[in-house]
Amino acid sequence: MIFIQVAFMLNGTILVLMTMFLKFHLKLALSNKTTIENLDKKGEDYLSAYDIGS
């Protein structure tokens, strides 16, 4: 019985972490940024060096 409870808690923890990981990467993909660009420009307006306008 205790094994099932521990497995359930571990599964829940992994679920939360993977959901956060997915949300972060979806945010990056939708804003067309890499991880380094995201961390480098934290809190500043973002303008890509490769942006040629619309």
pLDDT in tens, 25-54: 999 999 888 888 888 877 677 777 777 776
Say which residue, 24 or 33, is predicted with more confidence: 24
Spatial distance between the Cα atoms of 6 and 12, rounded to a whole number of angstroms: 10
Say which residue, 42 or 7, is predicted with more confidence: 7
Structure tokens at 4: 């099932």
Dihedral sign for Cα atoms in the order 16, 22, 25, 31:
negative
Q: Which H or E run includes 9?
A: helix 2-30
Spatial distance between the Cα atoms of 40 and 6, rounded to a whole number of angstroms: 39
Burial of residue 33, with CB atoms counted within 10 A of its CB: 0-12 exposed, 13-18 middle, 19 or more buried: middle
